[in-house]
Amino acid sequence: MSRALSTGPEHPSPVGRWTRAAALAGSLALGLASASAARAQETIKVGILHSLSGTMAISETTLKDAMLMLIAEQNRKGGVLGKKLEPVVVDPASNWPLFAEKARELIAKDKVSAVFGCWTSVSRKSVLPVFRELDSILFYPVQYEGEESERNVFYTGAAPNQQAIPAVDYLMSEEKVERWVLEGTDYVYPRTTNKILEAYLKAKGVAPADISINYTPFGQSDWQTRVAAIKAFGTAGRKTAVVSTINGDANVPFYKELANQGVKATDIPVVAFSVGEEELAGIDTKPLLGHLAAWNYFESIDTPENKAFIEQWRAFTRNAKRVTNDPMEAHYIGFNMWVKAVEKAGTTEPDKVIAALPGIEQKNLTGGTAKMLPNHHVTKPVFIGEIKDDGQFDVVWKTDGLIPGEAWSKQLDGSKDLEADWVTLNCGNYNTKTKKCGGA
């Protein structure tokens, strides 16, 4: 009974695993010559570590599909280094410790060359030691709170300075906002982002009385009190905006309550960092007209690359209404960068690929070119979109040019002296004052 229930690193599909293990043992026994012969038909394995069940499945399943599409597309173009790519999909089931186990399984047992995965910061933190220990590569596609730069991780989503800070700048300059409600779900990403934003707002001369920070539990569904409080905070006679780091499922009831209590975007705009096309697919967006989101990609951006990508995605999923979103573009960029780095290094060996990745450029889907930086973050444009009544976003503002991702926030005391540079300094947290590397 307990064996059957266990979801540990044992074998969910024992037959496949055993034959693979047997094959491995066999090739070891046959020695070097036959092993190299076997390698000619070998594929390059790519790990996909996204939750397909549990709470996070809502967001992560899409990314798994996006990766399968990208890999199929690459294989159609002839694969990498003359070999076909083989996706290895595992399901960490929205369970943080299971992420670490599944990552170990991917690297140690399946011998994948790189892993694309994780969504929440908790899951990323949980797999970090595994990637460090087994020296493999993780591409992480979601906007996050920063304050991290790891040798084995490449962050293709936005750092706070590529999403949160430009959004606040937009509200200040274009909407003349003077009072701020920072509304978030109670966990690491909103707390860190709000800390950075609070420091940034104060540096811009906003009085502490004009900033209200609030946290609600995961899956909060009763927003009556909070929305009433936001309304009250907004009646002080000066322009008020809400900066929302509310996560996942809690967003739908929040927006429904906003609409019901009549909070309109023309009075109190809400700018969200976790609400994209996918999330809006579950709500009637007519009452939300004009509320904002800040991302590095919107489906509505009109470029030939984006059009082709959307068509490919709809054909792949056989669903003409399927939407694309920002983390999908991040995987698109990350995957293509990895392909280029492997071709540049001439091998899939992690150390060589890690060394080859900084400096690699890849056209993004919105008309610019993303570049992998020495701190393992990428350059990105920032767009502000207003929600339209068809569930898409209308881009109303964008940054001039691309913003390089900052691993360490310039706003926070503990991190403003730190620098991440894996090319010249070979360090993720070099302190420019003490001239020392902080180490892991």
Residues that bind another protein (CB under 8 A): 52-55, 57-58, 61-62, 174-175, 186, 214-217, 219-222, 224-226, 228-229, 231-232, 234-238, 249, 252-253, 256-257, 259-262, 265-267, 269, 278-279, 281-284, 287, 289-290, 386, 389, 394, 396
Give the C-alpha separation, 289 to 265, whole Å. 7
Q: Cα–chain-centroid distance for residue 261?
A: 32
Q: Which is nearer to another protein, 26 or 219 (CB)?
A: 219
Distance in Å, CB of 291 to another protein, minimum: 9
Taking the least distance from each CB to another protein, the nearer of 175 and 417 is 175
Q: Which ranges of 323-362 would DSSP assign to H, the alpha helix?
A: 326-345, 350-356
The C-alpha atoms of residue 298 and residue 393 are separated, in whole angstroms, by 7
Residue 217: CB atoms within 10 A of its CB come to 10
Minimum distance from residue 89 beta carbon to another protein (Å): 15
Cβ distance to another protein smaller for residue 224 or 432: 224
Q: Name, in order, each residue with C-beta under 8 angstroms of 121's C-beta and a sequence gap of 6 or more.
A: 144, 145, 187, 188, 189
Nearest to 139 by CA among 344, 340, 426: 340
CB atoms within 10 A of CB 109: 15
What residue type is 237 in one-letter code? G
Residue (58 or 425) nearer to another protein, CB: 58
Distance between CA atoms of 95 and 87, rounded to whole angstroms?
21
Give SS3 for 65: helix
Residue 153 or 265: the one with the smaller Cβ distance to another protein is 265
Question: Toward another protein, which CB reaches closer, 47 or 287?
Answer: 287
- Name the minimum Å distance from CB 135 to another protein: 33
270-272 vs 383-387, strand pairing mode: unpaired
3-state SS, 262-297, equals CCCCCCCCEEECCCCHHHHCCCCCHHHCCCEEEECC
Minimum distance from residue 249 beta carbon to another protein (Å): 5
Compute the least distance from the CB of residue 38 to another protein, in Å: 37
Shortest Å, Cβ 140 to another protein? 20
Q: Which is nearer to another protein, 146 or 276 (CB)?
A: 276
Alpha-carbon dihedral sign for residues 392, 394, 399, 402: positive
Least distance to another protein, CB of residue 217, Å: 5
Tell me how far apart the alpha carbons of residues 377 and 415 are, in angstroms, rounded to a whole number.
16
- Contact indicator for 355, 345 with CB cutoff of 8 Å: yes
Nearer to another protein, 189 or 422 (CB): 189
**Minimum gap (Å) between residue 34 Cβ and another protein:** 42
Tracing tokens 């290094």 back to the chain, one arrives at: 345
